[in-house]
Amino acid sequence: MIKKKADDKKQWFLYPANLRTKTIVIIVLSSLVILSIFISGYFIPDIPTSFVNANRMPSLEHIFGTDWMGRDMFQRTIAGLGLSLMVGFIASAVSTLISIILGLFSSFNKFADELVAGIIDLFGSIPHILLIILVSVMFGGGVFGVVMGVGLTHWTPLARVLRSEVKEIKTKEYVHLAENLGKSRVWIATKHILPLVVSQIIVGVILMFPHAIMHEAAITFLGFGLPPHEPAIGVILSESMHYLSSGYWWLAFYPGMSLLIVVLLFDFIGENVEKLLNPETAQE
C-alpha cells in the first residue's frame, strides 16, 4: 500500500503544473456557481403574483419573463434549482452509503460477493424511472418520497465500481498478510480496503448528483414527484406545457436550459476531480 501511494504521488507530479492549475480553477468556479444557486434558492422570498404582468416576454425587468400568474420566472427557476440540489444532495448521500456498505460487504467472502452482484443486477434490470416512481409512491410521495425514490435507486453504478475495485484490492499481499494475522473481515474492509476506494467514492458521488437531479425533475414532470405547490423545475416544466402552444416559449426554455447547465457543471466537476485524484486519468 505504501509503495502504491508513492507511485501515485510520483505520477501526480508528472502531471503538468499548468494543467493542474486549470483543473483546480474549473472545479472552484463550477462549485461556486452551484453553491451560489443553492444558497440563493433559499433566500428567495415568496414570489408575488401580478396578473397585470402575466406572460411577459423576457426583458431587463424580468430576464426570464413572467408566467401566467405574473411571477418572475428567474426567481422561480433559481428556487427550483435550489430545491433540486437539496434533493440531489440527500439522495446522493443515501445512495453513497448503500454503495459503500455493499462494496465493503462484497469483500467478506465469495458468497457475499456473489450476493452483492446479484442485488446490483436485480436493481439494474428494472427500468430506472419506473423503479423511482414505485419507491417514491411507496414512501408517500412529496419531498421525502422523491428523496427516498432517488436515493434508493441510484447506488448501482457506484456499487458496481466499488465491488470491482474491492476484488482487485483483495488480491494484494498486505490483505493476505492481514488475514493470516487473524484480522477480522470488518477490520480489513475498513482499514485496508476503504481508504483505497475513497477517490472512487468521491468521484462517484459527484457524478451521481446530475443523475439524481435529472430523475427528480423527470418524475416530478410526470406528476409522481414533488407536489405542485413546490417551486421545482419539474413542476415548472410540467405547467409550461399548457402554454407552449400559445407561444410562451420562455416558460420552458429558461428553466430547462438552467437545469441542463447545472447538470453539465456537475459533469465538469466530476471529470476534473477524477483527474486530480487519479494520476493515470490525469495523464490521458
20-24, 43-47, 137-141 — most confident range: 137-141
Q: What pLDDT, on the 0 to 100 scale, is given for residue 280?
A: 56
pLDDT at 1 over 50: no
Which pLDDT band, with edges at 50, 70 and 90, does 5 fall under?
Answer: very low
pLDDT per residue over 174-188, tens digit each? Answer: 888 888 888 888 888
User: How big is the CA angle at 249 (ends 247 and 251), to the nearest 5 degrees?
Assistant: 120
Question: In the structure grid, which three cell numbers stand for residue 260, read together?
Answer: 441542463
Q: What pLDDT, on the 0 to 100 scale, is given for residue 102?
A: 92
pLDDT at 32 over 90: yes
- Report the candidate in 106, 94, 92, 115 with the shortest Cα–Cα distance to residue 165: 106
Instruction: Please give, one letter per residue, the 3-state secondary structure of 25-88.
Output: HHHHHHHHHHHHHHHHHHHCCCCCCCHHHCCCCCCCCCCCCECCCCCEHHHHHHHHHHHHHHHH
Whole-prediction pTM: 0.81
Question: In the structure grid, which three cell numbers stand for residue 105, read together?
Answer: 460487504
- Report the candidate in 27, 72, 22, 30 with the shortest Cα–Cα distance to residue 261: 30
Between 78-82, 201-205, 225-229, the lowest mean confidence (pLDDT) is in 225-229
pLDDT at 11 over 70: no
How far apart CA 31 and CA 77 sit, in angstroms, is 19
Between 6-15, 111-120, 146-155, 184-193, the lowest mean confidence (pLDDT) is in 6-15
Question: In the structure grid, which three cell numbers stand for residue 57, read together?
Answer: 416576454
How far apart CA 98 and CA 135 sit, in angstroms, is 15
pLDDT at 4 over 80: no
Largest interatomic CA distance in the chain: 78
Q: DSSP character for 152?
A: T
pLDDT at 12 over 80: no
- Report the candidate in 133, 80, 128, 98 with the shortest Cα–Cα distance to residue 252: 80
pLDDT at 66 over 80: yes
Q: Which of residues 12 and 104 earns the better pLDDT score?
A: 104
Q: What pLDDT, on the 0 to 100 scale, is given for residue 108?
A: 87
Q: How many helices (H) and strands (E) does the chain have?
A: 13, 0
Which pLDDT band, with edges at 50, 70 and 90, does 119 fall under?
Answer: very high
How far is CA 18 from each of CA 22, 23, 24, 84, 203, rounded to the nearest angstrom?
A: 6, 9, 10, 34, 22
Question: In the structure grid, which three cell numbers stand for residue 69, read together?
Answer: 400568474
Q: What pLDDT, on the 0 to 100 scale, is given for residue 20?
A: 74
Do 141 and 224 meet the contact criterion of CB atoms below 8 Å apart? yes
Q: What pLDDT, on the 0 to 100 scale, is given for residue 279?
A: 53
pLDDT at 61 over 90: no
- Report the candidate in 216, 206, 210 with the shortest Cα–Cα distance to residue 80: 216
Q: What pLDDT, on the 0 to 100 scale, is given for residue 40?
A: 87
How far apart CA 51 and CA 53 sit, in angstroms, is 5
pLDDT at 6 over 60: no
